[in-house]
Structure 1
Amino acid sequence: MTLAINKIINSLLEIILFSLLPFLFWYFSARKQERFTDWIGLKKIKGAKKTALAIIIVTTFYLLISLILLNSLKNIENATTEFQGLRFAALPAIFIYAVFNTSFPEEILFRGFILKRLANKLGFAKANFIQGLLFGILHGVMFFPLVGNLKSILIILLTSLIALSMGYVNEKSSDGSIIPSWIIHAFSNFIAGLYAAFYI
């Protein structure tokens, strides 16, 4: 239970930290035009059937990539290492980690803030590429000293590709809602947590 409580505290801190810059930007530039939640894309999904299919396809791709990466990083400390071998006792903490500790704050920052603001200036394609690359770098750069250049670059490329896909689903299938990428991200992280708890 201590692990779950730690995850709740970490989640709150991450949500505040990752939302602070977007909130300040919205407050000084767009608060008179729309609500913060709409501005970052925390809104109802439109085009539910099309979006559901896109979520299934991208989630499947994300899961395959995640499991391959986790398997190749078996002896390297990563975000799910703390769940290793805990089995059912880790389930509450894994759920909190997957839904609120990583996916929600990262979706607010990358697909809710960076992608949307850059798309207004550069257009969707360039903005999606930039947010995808930044997402990949954030997830891969910490592995350079642990696994070497080649594996780290592969991690960056694969996580960037996943981020590009999530940005596309949000903006082109869901009318700008970040909920689809939040679902994809959370489900994939939940499976990664289960993998650590039960199989590593």
Structure 2
Amino acid sequence: MMNSLISAILQVMLFSVIPFIWWLCTARKKQPFLTWIGLQKPIVLRKGRYAMYIVLSIFALFVPSFALIFFYIDRSLLAANQFVGLGATAVIPALFYAIIQTGLSEELLFRGFLLKRLIKTFGFQVGNVVQSFVFGCVHGAMLWSVLPLQVILFVVLTTALAGYVMGWVNERIAGGSIIASWSIHSIVNFIAACLYMFKF
């Protein structure tokens, strides 16, 4: 359990290095780092609408991702495979993995740092498309050597869709807070880990 926590914290630190250095060089005097990166309380005008978008986003990300995994990808290649068959004993490590290691680190880098910098330069639509494409390509690149090209393209498109939806929810529904996408990302990854843990 301690190894899972240490690994998760190290990944957050690694994914935060470039954003932190960028902030130090460009925005340190303008606003605090956590605000600059969007790690702040969401600005929610209508709570029911916000909750509905979070639930719909989880569903929209869950269905294509797991269809892709079920039909095209050897599940042993994925990070959640580390929990296969461990049952309830893996709940705490799976939470560290879902919430901190993947959820927080990826949201800080992609929706907190990259998307916000792209929006500032190119506007929301272009910025969100570009960050989601980069997000998809990074996930595709991790599986490049073990999957056929057409499956890699599905991985890139599915993950890019997830990145686009999470960026849209953050910027259009949560007032620029990455807490929204962090929650969505963490829940989807925890569900995946649970499926492995209990061999569904």
TM tier, shorter chain?
A: over 0.9
The answer to whether the 8 A contact 2:65-2:158 is kept is: no
Give CA-to-partner distance per residue, 1:59-114, whole Å, 9 cap, x none.
11111123223323245421111111111111111111000010101000000000
Shift of 1:31: 1.2
TM-score for both structures, normalised by structure 1: 0.94
Q: Which runs of 5+ in 1 are unaligned?
A: none
Shift of 1:144: 2.6
Three-state SS of the structure 1 residue aligned to 2:146 is: helix
Match of 2:182 in 1: 182
Residue 29 in 1 paired to residue 15 in 2?
A: no
Residue type at the aligned position of 2:99: V
Three-state SS of the structure 2 residue aligned to 1:145 is: coil
Size of the alignment, in residue pairs?
Answer: 197
Match of 1:43 in 2: 40
Q: Which runs of 5+ in 2 are unaligned?
A: none
Match of 1:81 in 2: 81
Match of 2:171 in 1: 171
Match of 2:132 in 1: 132
Residue 159 in 1 paired to residue 159 in 2?
A: yes
TM-score for both structures, normalised by structure 2: 0.94
Identity over aligned residues, as a percent?
Answer: 36
The two structures, once aligned, show a CA RMSD in angstroms of 1.3
Q: Distance in 2 between matches of 1:186 and 1:155?
A: 19
Shift of 1:129: 0.7
